Structure 1
Amino acid sequence: MASPLHLLVNPLSRHGGEKRRALVERMLRTQGHEVRTHVTTAPGDAETYVGGLSEQDRVAVVGGDGTIAEAARGAVRSGAALIPLPGGRGNDLCRYFGVHLDLPKAVLAIPTYVERRVDAGAVDGRVFLGVATIGFDSIANDNANSSRLRGQVVYAAGALRALARWKPVTFGLVVDGQPREVHGWSVVVGNTGRYGGGMRICPDAEVDDGLLDLVTIADGSKLEFLRSLPSVFDGTHVDNPRVRTERVRTVRIESIDGGNRAHRRRMAMFADGDRIADVPLEVGVLPGAVRLIVPHPRKAR
């Protein structure tokens, strides 16, 4: 008897079209699954659908990081297990867990995947899996989301647009109950630690340690910042004395002052590529909140 498997597809994602969807369905049936396909129709639909399932259900998700995060919000409630598959521009969650970025190859490998229980982050209770960020990254991400470009180029182009008018801001933070100020570029809270199409912004982040990685980037010249951008792809940016890293349980962002007025109006926290909350806000960790079916940790990239 075929085992049931839900296939959740964002039709607006890179692989959300009918031909790709049909290919994935055929491949899953060949593996012995009874495929139950659900195509999302609006923001929040993935969360609602997965939230209505049960602990016995498995859901293969074809979409970008935002779609996978939406599904994770539902999975926290229902206990369903998620199989992330590449379908977006950056695919940072798939990169972290070692899921092949070629969709057919990723589907072909599903029988070799193992179940992992992983942490989630939450911004004012709204779940994310990868990275939440505010500051310069907010503007760059907002620019990227409105671009027609794809892959790593879209994030680089978004960053360059943001850089042209950028002025440092002052963040009022409370980290694990201790107040502090950061004057500079960005505040980043990472669970998997990857964003922007492969950038290792929190290179030491572990998804099952019950903690979040906080990275703050203090003020420096635009030229210095621009020169440091390539180092984010291999994680060596943390060697810069202007970059502070630590592991935390909660980060409250209470205020943002100064900077470019137009940027400040657009500035919000983005998580897994989507705008998620305005200041003031609090980020916390939900240890072991999500079940994923992914490559064995030894194979993760």
Structure 2
Amino acid sequence: MEEQKKILFVINPISGGKKKTAFNKKVLEVLDMGKFKPTFQHTSGPNHAYELGQMAIKEGYDAVVAVGGDGTINELGSALLGTNIPMGIIPEGSGNGLALYLGIPMNETSAINRLNRFETVDVDCGLINDKPFFNIAGMGFDASVSDRFANDSVRGPIGYLRSAINVISNYKPCRYELVIDGVSYEREAFMISVANSPQYGNNAYIAPNASVTDGVLDVCIVHKFPMYTLPMMVFHLFNRSADQSEYVEIIPGRDIKIKRKEDGPLHVDGEPITMVGDLNICVKPRSLKIIC
């Protein structure tokens, strides 16, 4: 008989504003217990998922599962990067951008059941000043929204929308100097997103043609646009046609340098962070295994 695989579930108890008190019981009902021997750990704050991922490597786990959103995925993926230990995903976040792109079911039971197949895909990782991202990193408007959303008591899509509405009325575009695979650009932009996968989450596609397996990142420059065009901009996002907007420019690249005229917040897979000075961004092809 095949030996059981040791599988660690790393559960973010506050992601997506969803209670997860019955999660362990659900896993024991749905997971193939002949194949897997599950262990459960809850995160207690920032960077804990990363530490649990490192622990899983040391203790010889066969797989680690992120039970949370893109932030939890980012921490665990960063720990497992370059190893042969695959990461599973149970989407429990506010946006679930990477999981939606990979076709992982949003339904908890179906997502747990998907783990039983244990089929993996090798995905690319972006690095921004050596910090990994697997979905999207960005600056400008969306980073300011992420910064505000992180401090909002309301989680989920409603909280995110509320943060976006609060930020947009006062937001001013910034000037950027970019060098993408050796070609220089100067742009005044509402925001710049560097996309490994096509969407932020909730089926809002900023880079419709991005792929996590093509070894390329898509630099999405959203130019200043008149406020009356905002409904059309939102339509493009949800209609997978952002690349057709006259206010959106998408440039693929592997080696990207961005100089900002002034420092401001960034987001990495939806989590706000502070980085000062120039930004050096590159891609590490096929560097993380994901169960999908």
TM-score between both structures, scaled by the size of structure 2: 0.90
Q: Does 2:53 correspond to 1:47?
A: no
> Which residue pairs with 1:12 in the alignment?
14
> Which residue pairs with 2:270 in the alignment?
273
Q: Which amino acid aligns with 1:9?
A: I
**What's the RMSD between the two structures over aligned residues?**
2.1
Please report how far the alpha carbon of residue 144 of structure 1 lies from its aligned counterpart in structure 2 after TM superposition. Answer: 2.4
Q: Which amino acid aligns with 2:269?
A: D
TM-score between both structures, scaled by the size of structure 1: 0.87
Report the CA distance shift for 1:250/1:141 in structure 2 as closer, same or farther (over 3 A): same
- 2:82–2:288 contact (8 Å) kept in structure 1: no
Report the CA distance shift for 1:16/1:120 in structure 2 as closer, same or farther (over 3 A): farther
- 1:15–1:21 contact (8 Å) kept in structure 2: no
In structure 1, distance between residues paired with 2:160 and 2:218: 22
Q: Which amino acid aligns with 1:7?
A: F
In structure 2, distance between residues paired with 1:231 and 1:218: 14
Stretch of structure 1 that moved more, 176-185 or 62-71: 176-185
User: Is there any run of 5+ residues in structure 2 with no aligned partner, and where?
Assistant: none
Please report how far the alpha carbon of residue 97 of structure 1 lies from its aligned counterpart in structure 2 after TM superposition. Answer: 0.7
- 1:90–1:152 contact (8 Å) kept in structure 2: yes
Q: Does 2:92 correspond to 1:87?
A: yes
In structure 2, distance between residues paired with 1:56 and 1:36: 10
Moved over 4 A (4+): none
> Which residue pairs with 1:58 in the alignment?
63
> Which residue pairs with 1:153 in the alignment?
158
> Which residue pairs with 1:110 in the alignment?
115
Matches within 5 A, 1:168-247: 168-247=173-252
**Identical amino acids, percent of aligned pairs:** 24
- 2:217–2:253 contact (8 Å) kept in structure 1: yes
2:289 to 288, 291, 297: 291
- 2:220–2:249 contact (8 Å) kept in structure 1: yes
In structure 2, distance between residues paired with 1:200 and 1:113: 28
The 3-state SS of whatever aligns with 1:192 is: coil
User: Is there any run of 5+ residues in structure 1 with no aligned partner, and where?
Assistant: 258-263, 295-301
In structure 2, distance between residues paired with 1:96 and 1:69: 15
Aligned residues: 286
Report the CA distance shift for 1:31/1:9 in structure 2 as closer, same or farther (over 3 A): farther
